Amino acid sequence: MLFRTVPLILGLLAVVGASFTAPAHAQLAFIRDAEIESIIRSYAAPLFEAAGLDSQSVKVHIISDTKINAFVAGGKKLFINTGLLLAAKDSNQLVGVIAHETGHIAGGHLARTHEVLSNANAATIMSFVLGAAALAAGSPNAALAIVAGGAAVSQQTFLKYSRGQEQAADQYAVTTLDRTGQSARGLLEFLEVLEDQEVLMIGRQDPYLRTHPLVRGRVAFVRNHVENSPYSETKPSAEDETQFSRMIAKMQGFLNPRETFRLYPDDDQSLNARYARAIAHFQRPDLAPALEEINGLLDEFPQDGYFYELKGQILFENGRIGDAVESYRRAVEILPDAPLIRIGLAQTMVERGDQAALDDAVEHLEISVRQDADFPLAWRLLSIAYGRSDRLGLSALASAERAILVNNFKEAVAFAQRVDNLLPAGSPGQLRAQDIEFVAKQSLSRK
């Protein structure tokens, strides 16, 4: 299930489903999708480990933005635009970009410059990104409204690497690619595309070029490595390419449904084409052909949890709650370690509303937040499910967790203080609420 979480100009996150249409004042949106994240993670984890990083400690965030860009911020947080994912020609190009960004993480390039963000959540970091963009666009009042701690954010210093850092990241990238037995040719191809863009006016260049200074020496360095590395002719594995093509098909279906029917016409009966069309029909919305496509895929691939997840989402968003629950249950059985799929199942159960369904929803949501505590929708659903089950203290705690994630610090304080009156003194929930209240008050004091 593809979710979008949208940071507004003040850092407030609105959480909605895949059929979301961004309001005029929304600037950027995060994408959450179990399958897409799993694929990107499968490419990134070997690179992180080869660079001496704990792969589980590096958070990967996907931004719904057509511009070609990727960056690291706040220490071990990697941000990738959907525009870059869709612009990549194959998995090797994407791996090359991730390897380069891994070099920035391993080198601590931005962590040292922006220590204030080292422990910030993704919403906070995106607020700084928006502040930098607002300054660059000549809107200092909007920018200052989202700058924490009174420190001005400048496009010249935030998310902008020096030429020396870029060269160091390139060195990290090619070394790491060699260590993992992968070709640096994809990185070279990506840099060559950027080299062609250098002649464009600044407003027409992709942000990646403006934040990652490109000089001929960088391209020459990577080209020389490609000419001499024993891995340069190594092709991506068939599995990597299959996953990449499937990821692109899914993203096209959700993000560009009209274009999808041109890219994947009806006479294309490949798995990817049918998957993309099922999603595009669902987005139009056109229920009958969407179900026909996804049911056909499930007939052929009955053990594919992501197909069951999509069917569950299609049914849920068309009001067929009972059928959606069954599809999501099957998806969770096949993919028990995918917290986002559990959240989709829990959402259908909360909507169904009977006590048995609410109890099941709580169980799945508690598992999901143990696996991934950074998704506001999970906490909102957990708050609702607890509240309808008269577990008011835990409901308030879940609301406080959500509020701190979306930078609504006043609301976080209010809910955390409510927990004090509802949960026993010294209980884990009460102690957690005190931690949330402390962090929220600290954040408020810096504004």
Does residue 260 have a pLDDT over 50? yes
Whether the CB-CB separation of 94 and 60 falls below 8 Å is answered with no
Distance in angstroms (rounded) separating the CA atoms of residues 361 and 205: 46
Whether the CB-CB separation of 134 and 64 falls below 8 Å is answered with no
Which tokens is 24 given?
């005029």
Taking only the tens place, the pLDDT of each residue in 178-216 is 999 999 999 999 888 877 665 554 555 555 555 565 656
Distance in angstroms (rounded) separating the CA atoms of residues 102 and 46: 11
List, in sequence order, the alpha helices (H) in 117-215.
Answer: 122-136, 140-145, 163-179, 185-197, 207-211
Band of residue 422 on the pLDDT scale cut at 50, 70, 90: very high
Sign of CA pseudo-dihedral 202, 205, 211, 213: negative
Beta pairing class for 77-81 and 70-73: antiparallel
C-alpha to C-alpha distances, 263 to 242, 266, 272, nearest whole angstrom? 17, 10, 11
Helices 376-388/355-371 angle, 10° precision: 150
At 233 the pLDDT is: 96
At 20 the pLDDT is: 26
Which tokens is 95 given?
């791996």
Place of tokens 């098909």: 249
Band of residue 110 on the pLDDT scale cut at 50, 70, 90: low
For residue 421, the one-letter residue type is: N
Whether this prediction's pTM lies above 0.75 is answered by yes
Band of residue 26 on the pLDDT scale cut at 50, 70, 90: very low
Strand order in the sheet with 3-7: 13-16, 3-7, 30-32, 59-63, 77-81, 70-73
Which tokens is 213 given?
């200074």
At 141 the pLDDT is: 44
C-alpha to C-alpha distances, 153 to 58, 159, 173, 403, nearest whole angstrom? 24, 10, 28, 24
Between 122-136, 210-224, 283-297, 352-366, the lowest mean confidence (pLDDT) is in 122-136
Detail the DSSP E strand segments found in 17-69.
30-32, 59-63
Whether the CB-CB separation of 223 and 246 falls below 8 Å is answered with no
Band of residue 152 on the pLDDT scale cut at 50, 70, 90: very low
Place of tokens 């504004």: 447
Does residue 42 have a pLDDT over 90? yes
Q: What end-to-end distance do the CA atoms of the chain give, in Å?
A: 36
At 412 the pLDDT is: 97
* Of residues 306 and 107, more confidently modeled: 306
Average pLDDT over residues 126-140: 47
Q: Give the domain ranges of the chain.
A: 3-228, 390-447
Among the listed residues 266, 267, 271, the one whose alpha carbon sits nearest the alpha carbon of residue 250: 271
In 80-100, which positions are buried (b, 16+ CB within 10 angstroms) versus exposed (e)? bbbbbbebbebbbbbbbbbbb
At 2 the pLDDT is: 66
Average pLDDT over residues 53-58: 88
Distance in angstroms (rounded) separating the CA atoms of residues 377 and 49: 30
Mean pLDDT of the chain: 83
Does residue 134 have a pLDDT over 50? no
Q: For domain 3-228, is the CATH number 3.30.2010.10?
A: yes
